Amino acid sequence: MTALSRISLSALCIGLLTAPLSAQESASTAHPAVWPAVQAMPQRDAKVEKRIDALLRAMSIEDKVGQIIQVDIGSINPADMRTTKIGSVLNGGNSGPYGDEYASPAKWLKLADEFYDASMERTDKGPKIPIIWGTDSVHGNNNIVGATLFPHNIGLGAARDPDLIREIGRVTALETAAAGLDWTFAPTLAVVQDDRWGRTYESYGEEPQIAADYAGAMIEGVQGKVGTKNFLAPDHLIATTKHFLGDGGTGGRDQGDTRVSEETLRDVHLGGYPAAIEAGTQSVMASFSSWNGEKMSGNKSLLTGVLKERMGFDGFVVGDWNSHGQVKGCSNEDCPQAINAGLDMFMYSGPNWKQLYDNTLREAKEGTIPAARLDDAVRRILRVKLRTGTFDRGRPSSRPFAGKFDVFGSAEHKAIARRAVQESLVLLKNQGVLPLKANANVLVAGEAANSISQQAGGWSITWQGIDVPDSAFPNAQSIWKGIEETVKAGGGKATYAPDGQFSAKPDVAIVVFGEKPYAEFKGDITNLEYSPGDKHDLEMLKRFKATGVPVVAVFLSGRPLWVNAELNASDAFVAAFLPGSEGGGVADVLFAGADGKPRHDFRGKLGFSWPKRPDQYVLNRRDPGYDPLFPFGYGLSYAHPGKVGALDETRPAGMAEANPSVFYGRGQTPPGWSIDAEGVRQAGVDRRAQEDARRLTWSAAGGKAAFSAPRLLDLSRETNGEISLVMEYRTESKPAGKFTAGLQSGDKVAAVPISGLLASAQPGTWGRIVIPLQCFAARGADMKAITAPLILQSTGAADISISDVKLDYVSTPMSKCGDEG
């Protein structure tokens, strides 16, 4: 019986909510009795529980408080743990060993040993409790150079293959354990209902059934099967089912509020959780998001009443990145409310982790956190550490699979990843051009065709995955290289031209294009229009079409997008989503064998409905007025072809514009924006292309240049997410007066001094200035109501050129708060 049918039967047996909530009850209070009961696994082991009892008796209250705190490795070092015994560390999306995001697997293992050794070092008679290290291995061990990267979940959802999911979990666990790590923050079981969300690609699909079908398989792959010798064996990991609960229902807004009934929260968003708990998931991550106004990290009715008591989950609940700090009345350094609600482990990043420890210790001693609640949280953490053998296996480097770095990108693992690519591709359109002949003259176009970073997407080496060099993916193959290999083997000719230019007409053009990498915050958009304001890709497709060259479009994206014009300009259109490190899997399906028959057929089916208009961001099969371009489950194949007629390219009038993350690029501002200058002369200059940059020259009396938006911008989430304003510039001469970079909200300009940075720059050389948005917030800017996200102001003569102004995540901002850094 599937998890979804269990939920429905459970609701049928006990009855749905039949009365309205009383005035005393909140819309964010769950009623556990109407949620499904689950057979949680594994069953408790009396020997393990007896050992936990002994440990709890031997632990001081200081030891216990330490166990419920996890700190990012960018904020703590092993020496700190010799005096304060915390329970866990993690590496955030941009935290690498010793500050190196591109660290070798050996460095990861070395640091794992150092943290372990520090956790086991005691000068008193207290018990030695090993630390566990958590990491976001969300599509392979994606933080480590050389690892096998699988398609993101949106592509795997299209594959509809639980056995494949189990294999991916197994491989991911092995490659993560080889680096000495214990625990992955995966799988994500979000059932995304609004595709504007920047984490849509982390979801298997809009229907809870897909998550229900996949959850158990992924948990078994990562942890091993309960009841077998493989369960939590050394080549497996602790799994995390996340983000509990309703993360996919926030209206496309990261860390937002899921405003739905309890019935919808249960029947849609619970999705795969029952199956994951039955498969033995050992940790659950509380969501950043809220349910009807109450943050999940502080919702006792759900964390304790539903998850732990009703569904019997006996592992531990970990927070998301400082998510406890968003609970009402809390800060990142002080939040007893979250622990009392049922959070068992804080996830903390920042310089003040010791304050969190001290405050929590004080509250435990005072009884603000009851002793029974503290003991329950610690018991749950110890139970998982004992089940996974952490107490008995010694240093990470001494474990059976640690240091076996030859598993990274091994032939077996690459073959599984390539199969995943083949199965995840969805054929949206084919006017008879596919499959292609391998002996043809093939032109491959688009920068994305030869970019591992772009085909891998976010959470690939770095958090946002932006501009990661191909050298960080030494075992990967780009889509272009896979095509070249296939065509060469078939006796044809393959040429790569990023700009699509050619001298001799090819038989066919394959154009690879799509979204640049992103993760949360940066990935949120306001509508589903692909690449608003930049139609470079569309122009390339049309150029091929005009010259009579058949066009195959391979579209890389983390969500369905409005691409009607691009579909019209293509003879075949493939939704490849974010395929990961094995780009050759694309060529496997596009090209026929020597006999002219397909080598692999398309088998992917849409897990998300595809929009016919850019304002159809809420487009789910159960919604009223459901009217997609391509419905949930759609996908053509060679065996079952279909026709797609001419599509309407009309952009709806009055549609909400996207919040652009690029304020100036390719020589222009976004549509409706302007550069308003007072006392400043503007002229186009060349950097990468003709007049793709702008020269700004201030008079001796000074002046300002404001990059003005046509409406208010809410940059509050980007500010909380440590996003920075990045400006690429070139000084033509050193400024004569005081020079600032600021942004405007209302009548206030919050400015950061950058005179020193400009004066120290080499004239005529391009550089960049990085200013965290938090610098402007600290100077009084209302980050929810920005009218001009950049104002350059000088009190005297100045002459600089600007080529790019954007919002970006930079792990080590070069300029801190301007000259004051």
User: Phi and psi at residue 441, in whole multiples of 5°?
Assistant: -95, 105
Residue 679: how many other CB atoms lie within 10 Å: 15
> Which stretches does DSSP call E strand in 465-615?
493-497, 508-514, 551-556, 572-575
Q: What is the helix (H) or strand (E) element at residue 515, kind and residue range?
A: none
Total residue count of the chain as it appears in this document:
821
What is the rounded distance in angstroms from the CA atom of residue 205 to the CA atom of residue 674? Answer: 39
Q: Please give the angle made by the CA atoms of 190, 192 and 198, to the nearest 5 degrees.
A: 95
560: DSSP letter? -
467: left (phi over 0), alpha (psi -120 to 50) or beta: left
Residue 614: count of CB within 10 angstroms of its CB: 22
Give the residue from 316, 182, 159, 324 showing the smallest Cα distance to 242: 316
- Kindly report the backbone phi and psi dihedral angles of residue 81, in degrees, each rounded to the nearest multiple of 5, phi listed first: -80, -10
Q: Which residues contact 772 (CB under 8 A, 6 or more apart)?
A: 722, 723, 724, 725, 813, 816, 817
520 catalytic? Reply is yes
Residue 80 annotated to the active site? no
158 and 213 in contact (C-beta within 8 Å)? no
What lies within 8 Å, CB to CB, of 333 at 6+ separation is: 325, 350, 352, 355, 356, 359
Alpha-carbon gap, residue 715 to 782, rounded angstroms: 9
In the block, tokens 């956790």 appear at: 119
Which entry of 175, 520, 566, 728 is annotated as an active-site residue?
520
Q: Residues near 392 by Cβ (< 8 Å), separated by ≥ 6?
A: none
Q: Which of 195, 320, 484, 588 is catalytic?
A: 320
**Cα-flanking dihedrals φ and ψ of residue 212, to 5°?**
-65, -40
Peptide bond into 243 cis (omega under 30): yes
C-alpha span between 275 and 808 (Å, rounded): 37
Alpha carbon distance 505, 516 (integer Å) = 29
Q: How far is CA 37 from CA 34, 243, 689, 787, in A?
A: 9, 20, 62, 51
CA pair distance 265, 267, nearest whole angstrom: 6
Q: Which active-site residues does the annotation give?
A: 320, 520
